[in-house]
């Protein structure tokens, strides 16, 4: 297929042919079912982990109350040392619960912050004088054709 004469000079300048090349666009689509399945698994894992952390914290608090009673009655340094370690473990579990919330929020933000799917840019490589000349020639050719 031959293009109009107004582009022949450009074709010679850029050493290209005047054939129209069809572009093939590949689209990558994820199946909706797969996305929903991953989302459901994430939700299940979150709820399971959250439930376990709550159970660990509750049991840790019960154990802490018992060890503190024992430490006060026996007045043994080792009992107080164990109570201190248990306090640290319960505090770590509560920190993990907060970290779990933060990780889930980060995952949700990552899902929702997708970039643009199609970006189309037009680019002219040349000087402003060449662009001006090209536009002027095109304008005069358009006038002549009317």
Q: List the CATH number of the domain containing 47.
A: 1.10.287.1060
8-state DSSP, 146: -
Tell me the pTM: 0.49
87 within a domain of the structure (yes/no): yes
Q: What is the mean pLDDT of residues 5-29?
A: 70
Number of domains in the chain: 1
Strongest mean pLDDT among 5-14, 27-36, 86-95 = 86-95
* Distance of alpha carbon 146 from alpha carbon 137, whole angstroms: 14
Least confident window among 16-20, 51-55, 106-110: 16-20
Average pLDDT, the chain: 79
143 within a domain of the structure (yes/no): no
67 within a domain of the structure (yes/no): yes
Convert the pLDDT of each residue in 34-48 to its tens digit. 666 777 888 888 899
How many angstroms separate the Cα of 33 from the Cα of each of 30, 39, 41, 108, 143?
8, 10, 12, 18, 56
120 within a domain of the structure (yes/no): no
* Distance of alpha carbon 48 from alpha carbon 133, whole angstroms: 69
54 within a domain of the structure (yes/no): yes
6 within a domain of the structure (yes/no): no
Count of other CB atoms within 10 angstroms of residue 137: 13
| Among candidate residues 100, 96, 78, 98, the one with its CA nearest the CA of residue 88 | 96
Residues 61/101, Cβ–Cβ less than 8 Å: no
pLDDT over 70, % of the chain: 75
State the pLDDT confidence band at 85, using cuts at 50, 70 and 90: very high
Residues 71/83, Cβ–Cβ less than 8 Å: yes
Q: What is the mean pLDDT of residues 4-25?
A: 71
Rounded CA Rg of the chain: 35
65 within a domain of the structure (yes/no): yes
Residues with Cβ within 8 Å of 10's Cβ and at least 6 positions away in sequence, in order, are 134
26 within a domain of the structure (yes/no): no
Domain of residue 66, residue span: 33-114
């Amino acid at each position: 297929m031959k293009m109009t004469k107004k582009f022949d000079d450009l074709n010679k300048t850029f050493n290209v042919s005047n054939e129209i090349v069809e572009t093939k666009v590949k689209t990558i689509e994820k199946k909706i079912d797969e996305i929903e399945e991953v989302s459901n698994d994430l939700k299940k894992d979150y709820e399971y982990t959250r439930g376990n952390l709550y159970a660990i914290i509750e049991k840790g608090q019960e154990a802490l109350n018992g060890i503190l009673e024992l430490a006060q009655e026996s007045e043994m340094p080792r009992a107080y040392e164990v109570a201190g370690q248990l306090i640290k473990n319960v505090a770590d579990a509560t920190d993990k619960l907060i970290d779990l919330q933060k990780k889930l929020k980060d995952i949700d933000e990552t899902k929702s912050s997708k970039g643009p799917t199609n970006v189309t840019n037009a680019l002219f490589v040349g000087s402003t004088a060449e662009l001006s000349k090209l536009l002027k020639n095109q304008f005069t050719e358009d006038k002549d054709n009317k």
